[in-house]
Amino acid sequence: MGQDRPDVVSVYKQMDQTGLSLQSRFAFQCHPGLACFNRCCRTPTIILSPYDIYRLKHFLGLTSGEFLARYTLRESEELSNLPLIFLDPFRPSGNSCPFLGDAGCLVYDHRPAACRLFPITMGSRLSAGGVEDFYFCKQLDYCQGFATEVQWTVGSWQANQGFVEYDQGRRAWLEIILKQSLRGPVDALVQALFATLMYDLDKVRQLIGEPAFQKDIAINTEELATLQRDELTLLEFGYRHLQTVLLGEKA
C-alpha cells in the first residue's frame, strides 16, 4: 500500500462499473523482457487472507507472529471493523513489495491470491445465493503486458495462475467478513479473537493446548491431536469457531 492508504478498507464491491464474467476474454502476457517488469510490485495493495499467510510463513520458515511483525500492517474493514492484514511495502527494506528481488518475485510459487489474479481484480458482496464475486481488468497505464496476442478468459487465467486453490482456502474468511459487515462493527475483544484465529495459527495451537480452552470448546483428545498436527485443519477450526461466535451459525 502507498503512503495514502485508507484508514479503513472494504471488501464489499458496489456495482458502479461494468464487470467481467469468468468467460470474459482479455489479452495479457507478463515476462522479464518487458520494460515495465516488476513495476506493479513497487507499491502494491495486497490483502493477505489466512491461507496466504499460512503458505508464505511456511515457505519462509517463520512463525505466524514473526511473519506478521516483519512483513505486514493491519487495517480495519470499513463496515465490520474486523482486522485485515496487508503486505507492507515499506518494510523491511523500502518502497516495494518486501518479496521483490532483482530478478522478480522471491516467493513466486507461494505468492498471494491477489498477485495470482493480477491484472484482474476482484470484489465481493453477499447475495441471496451467498458470496457473489465481480471481476475487473486493471489496465495500468505503464503496463506493456496487454500488448500481446495471448488471450485468456478470466476463468482460464485463474486456473493457469493457481488462483483456485488460494480462493478456496480463503472463501470462509471472506464470507465471515461480508456477513459481519451487515451486522455492524465488532468490539475490541472480538477483533482480537478474529485476528488470532485467522492470522496467528501458531498462537492458536498454543491456546488449544490449555485445559481451560479445551473445556470451553469441548474438544476431545483425538481432535486436539489433529489440530496440533495439521495447520489447515486448525484454520478450518478457526473458521467454524468464528461462524458460531460471530454469526450464530451451527458449525
Pairing mode, if any, of strands 72-77 and 8-9?
parallel
User: What percent of the residues of the chain are helix, what percent strand, and what percent coil, each to the nearest 5?
Assistant: 45, 15, 40
Q: Tell me which of 249 and 185 has the higher pLDDT.
A: 185
Whole-Å CA distances, 156 to 94, 97, 152, 162: 35, 26, 6, 10
Confidence (pLDDT) at 251: 61
Which of the residue ranges 78-87, 168-177, 186-195, 214-223 would you say has the lowest mean pLDDT? 214-223
Q: Tell me which of 191 and 92 has the higher pLDDT.
A: 191
CA–CA separation, 65 vs 70, rounded Å?
A: 9
Average pLDDT over residues 147-152: 96
Q: How much is the pTM?
A: 0.89
Whether the CB-CB separation of 172 and 239 falls below 8 Å is answered with yes
CA–CA separation, 235 vs 47, rounded Å?
A: 18
Average pLDDT over residues 79-88: 95
List the grid coordinates of 115. Answer: 498477485
Using the 8-state DSSP alphabet, how is residue 43 labeled?
Answer: S
∠ CA 148-154-156, rounded to 5°: 85
Helix (H) or strand (E) holding 172: helix 163-183
On the question of pLDDT at 93 being above 80, the answer is: no
Report long-range pairs for 59-66 (Cβ below 8 Å, ≥24 apart): 59/107, 59/109, 59/110, 60/107, 63/202, 64/199, 64/200, 64/201, 64/202, 64/203, 65/200, 65/202, 65/203
Helix (H, G, I), strand (E, B) or coil at 165: helix
